[in-house]
A and B are shown apart, each in its own frame.
Chain A
Amino acid sequence: MASGDVWILGANMTKFGKRPNDDVIDLAAEAAMAALADGGVTMADIGILGVGNLMNAGAGIGQQLQKQVGQTGIPVYNVANACATGATALRVAIMAVKAGETDMGMAVGVEKLAGAGLLGQGGPRAASDTWQPNGRYGALGSTEGRIGTNIMPGVFAQVGMEYGHKYGGTSFELFAKISEKNHAHSTLNPLAAYQKRFSLDEIMNDVMIAYPNTRPMCSGNCDGAAAMVVVSDAKLKKLSRAQQKRAVKISASVLTSDPWQESCQVLPDVNTLTRNAAEQAYEQAGIGPADLDLVELHDCFATAELVHYDNLLLCEQGGAADFFESGAPWRDGSMPVNVSGGLQSKGHPIAATGIANIYEVATHLRGEAKDRQIKGAKVGLAHVIGLGSACGVHILEKAA
């Protein structure tokens, strides 16, 4: 435990899926209470609260959560940062601890999304009987379908196809095989929204959403929450031996946005900022990709997972298809990726995702992942990306 390090003391994610009887606050409170209990602390120990929620970004979910679990008067930061919202909430807590403002903080990400349908379509327009230019591009109507697509399955399909154009080696079947892997992994994760194994044929012959992504190749909108308690090095030293043993070191915590790229004006560039975040994270942690025992990356669609093998430097540049075909990212391969089942099976309650992926890695490093445990895992990486864009990368290490 070096001075300045920040540790995960407690962590939890709820079961993801349809939770019709729980509202946003119920879910957030469930994860928060469980994370506090997991860390052996209470709200009275927490000095800062970061809360992420995208769908009710203006509703003060953080304060509502405090009313539910403990109004101690501490600062609360409500954050929204697309799909990286959870990671951003966690960064708020980590930064406050690092800055010495407090010695313990908590982050919660929560979303109710079951039945939300396709995201990115925009709202309806007011009717008019003459053509009325509207908005930033002076458009006469919805651009969806008229000027390509903005819906997520289509955007991320193009992200994967663009990789294929650049480096070759991709195909509908390759992308479907990535989905086959994640659904196979999900059968071992009781917290996943879907735990059904699909054959390659079933995946390829399922309903086409946006070629080459069929329905099982898309992440599911669902409900869920995740929470994490972080603690300073100095404070951890004063806690019990049991708490110290289960603590997980945050070796790197990075958030990036996308630097300008020519094509990002028309197709979001999820590559450059992920690569930048990964490079910064490896440098912060003083390790390389070869040191990783497992990776949870943002497979919002099967087409996205492929490009992030490359962006996170898990393979040589341009070599993502070969990397997958080698079997490396399967749970028994050399670089297990998304052993939780990934967003395609686990589900994607947006603001919870950026904490849930870190929870997954931490659980393996603690040796508590039961049936899906990656044996002897010591170092892991969690990645999340929100379009717009924001990318969070965290590298965790098992306590020595």
Chain B
Amino acid sequence: MAKATSKSAKKKSKADAKKTKNAKNAKNAKNTKKTKKKAGAATKASGPKRNGKQIPFVDYLVLGKTPYLRANECKSCAARFFDRRNACASCSGTEFKRARVKNRGIVTSFSIVAMGPQPYVSAIVDCDGTSVRTTLIGVEPTPEKVTLGMPVKLATYPMGLDTEGTEAIAFGFAPA
């Protein structure tokens, strides 16, 4: 699944591929729903038309020409958090600013989670001092292909359309 989706992410700009891709995505979304008991948006192969809107899978993924992850950074000690804090867990400071996390990093830890229909690689990526938890995409989930210290970069892929035609975009990290 990871492989296929990262490939389709690369094809993102090809307008004429859209229709078939939609069907594919919808199928993917359906499969995911079935196998993981996850309720996302239900889409039919013949279903909704793309309405031009996109929504990130999590709110710290910023979409656009060059997608990136955004952290809340403590103004006094620069500690970063992907969710909100009332006071900094590191220094108790109460002022934060938004910070852009580097899109490239190295894998400092991983596990190949083998339960369920498809194995996937969970990894911790050190993006220039900011640790990110991610699923690795575009790489075979085997200990031969995934290695500690491997360089990776942020990549996004579509998750499918909802009934209003809004497309959800998720992120992963792929070999750089």
Partner-B contacts on A (CB < 8 A): 118, 124-131, 133, 136-149, 151, 153-155, 157-159, 161-162, 164-166, 172, 207-213, 260, 262-263, 265-267
Contact = CB atoms under 8 A, between A and B. Distances in A.
Contact of B109 (A129, A153, A267): A267
Given A145-B113, A260-B79, A158 B124 contact: yes
B15 interface: no
Contact of A208 (B36, B59, B114): B114
B55 A140 contact: yes
A147 B134 contact: yes
B166 interface: yes
B43 to A, nearest CB: 9
Nearest to B81: A265
> Which of B40, B79, B84, B163 is most buried by chain A, counting CB atoms within 10 A of its CB?
B40
B17 interface: no
B129 interface: yes
Nearest to B32: A141
A262 B101 CA distance: 14
Interface size class of B (residues with CB under 8 A): 35 or more
Contact of A209 (B59, B114, B134): B114
B41 interface: yes
Contacts of B79: 260, 262
B135 A211 contact: no
A131 B55 contact: yes
Given A125-B39, A137-B59, 20 more contacts: A124-B37, A124-B38, A124-B39, A125-B38, A127-B42, A130-B163, A131-B168, A136-B84, A141-B39, A148-B123, A149-B122, A158-B110, A158-B123, A162-B108, A207-B114, A210-B113, A260-B79, A262-B130, A265-B82, A266-B131
A260 to B, nearest CB: 4
Contact of B55 (A127, A133, A144): A133
Interface string B107-141: 11111111110001011101001111111000000
B124 A263 contact: yes
Contacts of A153: 111, 113
B163 A154 contact: no
A141 B28 CA distance: 14
